[in-house]
Structure 1
Amino acid sequence: MKRTIAAVALALAAATPLWAEDGVGIRPDRMSVTVQTPGGSAEISRIQDTEHELSGEWARTSRPCPPFCIQPMIPAEGVDTIGEIELLEMLENPDVIVIDSRTQSWFESGSIPGAVNMPYTETVDRLAELGCALDFDGWACEDAREVALFCNGPWCGQSPTAIRRMIEAGYPAERIHYYRGGMQVWRLLGLSVTDATGD
């Protein structure tokens, strides 16, 4: 029995992918992603310190509800909920706008590189920036861009609120993606932020 356990342990050790020894990757075949920002290109990777842990605000597990209630997986019918890999692909795609829907002070404390800040309180007033046109009855969004919205995490209602307001204003739900994990899960995975001092 002991020999069998030892043999299995050796086999598992031998099967460890080489990239794991070289660093903490995003995927087995990818260490980083380069995205365009208003200030030029930025590289998104994971924190390489395998002992790193979250602390402070991002390590909190319990916030009072309301207002910090757990959000549904799908904030509105027709909206696609995505994870980190899909969000990274969207950040690389110049045709997609990734929106940090948090208030400006949250955005300034650290965001996802390549995201633009459009606070949930302003989203409907700024639909022209997303391809909609103002008409006599409100917004005409036939040419609306594909967008992905996020906020602080599964307990944050800012992006779900923005998404529902956008749809009510005429934005096509099928062009909206929701990154539910938000900044808390992004930071939990050790991914780059625009200001890494806030963990």
Structure 2
Amino acid sequence: MTRLLSALALMAALPAAADPVGITRDMSAVTVPLPGGGSAVISREQDNEHRIDGDWARTSRACPPFCIQPITPAPGVTPIGELELMAMLQDPEAMVVDGRVRRDFEGGSIPGAVNIPYTEAADRLDELGCEIDFDGFDCENARPVALFCNGSWCGQSPTAARRMIEAGYPAEKIFYYRGGMQAWRLLGLSVTQ
């Protein structure tokens, strides 16, 4: 009887088996190339009891400057969700840009994203397929680019999109992941260390 009670106590102390957490019904993970070479796997947290905490759990920030951003930050820009962003991460022609300041990028980002802080975006269009010319940039061969920042209340990537367009980047080549890092983390998706 003592052994039975000990076994039952041990079983009660063990975590329950987690139900698998996929990205979609048919996709459990995606592998994306990294800017410096190699690859990373994006999947979701498998702990069914997982919760976000810290700054990512905060729901309210003072407005201004942290006002809710429009779903489309500028005419011609296409809003996208997580699945479209993952497809762009896998597309060798596309580029996914974390528009946050370097400190935030270094605190964790979406695997495969490159950091071009919003304050530098309009000056670094050559990294996105534009060529420097006498008048600024020729963006005839601009790459499709997805921008994101901290979340729906963060104005960094919307500001980057508007500045890029003013500098000559075609709006139809810009995609905006409005959910940003907050939504990415809320879904338990992989984050760089």
Instruction: Select the residue among 102, 105, 110 that pairs with 1:104.
Output: 102
Give the structure 2 partner of residue 150 of structure 1. Answer: 148
Structure 2: 5+ residue stretches without partners: 1-17
1:26 maps onto 2:23 in alignment:
yes
CA distance in 2, matches of 1:145, 1:126: 13
SS at structure 2 position matched to 1:107: helix
Give the structure 1 partner of residue 188 of structure 2. Answer: 190
State TM-score, norm by structure 2: 0.89
Instruction: Select the residue among 133, 136, 153 that pairs with 1:135.
Output: 133
CA RMSD of aligned residues (A): 0.9
1:168 maps onto 2:166 in alignment:
yes
CA-to-aligned-CA distance 1:15-45 (integer Å, 9 cap, x gap): xxxxxx7510000000000001124110000
SS at structure 1 position matched to 2:71: coil
Q: Deviating runs (4+, > 2 A) in structure 1?
A: none
Whichever residue aligns with residue 143 of structure 2, its letter is R
Give the structure 2 partner of residue 73 of structure 1. Answer: 71
Whichever residue aligns with residue 34 of structure 1, its letter is T
CA distance in 1, matches of 2:188, 2:158: 24
CA contact (8 A) 2:40 2:111 kept: yes
CA distance in 1, matches of 2:173, 2:39: 25
CA distance in 2, matches of 1:42, 1:134: 32
SS at structure 2 position matched to 1:89: helix
SS at structure 2 position matched to 1:102: coil
SS at structure 1 position matched to 2:124: helix
CA distance in 2, matches of 1:55, 1:129: 34
CA distance in 2, matches of 1:22, 1:185: 21
Structure 1: 5+ residue stretches without partners: 1-20
CA contact (8 A) 2:19 2:48 kept: no
Give the structure 2 partner of residue 14 of structure 1. Answer: none
Instruction: Select the residue among 33, 38, 45 that pairs with 1:36.
Output: 33
Alignment size in residue pairs? 175
- Which one has a larger percent helix, Structure 1 or Structure 2? 1
Give the structure 1 partner of residue 112 of structure 2. Answer: 114
Q: Percent identity?
A: 69
SS at structure 2 position matched to 1:49: coil
Deviation at 1:87, TM superposition (A): 0.3
State TM-score, norm by structure 1: 0.86
SS at structure 1 position matched to 2:49: coil
Whichever residue aligns with residue 33 of structure 1, its letter is V
Deviation at 1:125, TM superposition (A): 1.0
CA distance in 2, matches of 1:99, 1:162: 10
Deviation at 1:147, TM superposition (A): 0.4
CA distance in 1, matches of 2:20, 2:37: 27
Deviation at 1:136, TM superposition (A): 1.5
Whichever residue aligns with residue 113 of structure 1, its letter is P
SS at structure 2 position matched to 1:159: helix
Deviation at 1:135, TM superposition (A): 1.4
Give the structure 2 partner of residue 56 of structure 1. Answer: 54
CA distance in 2, matches of 1:184, 1:108: 15
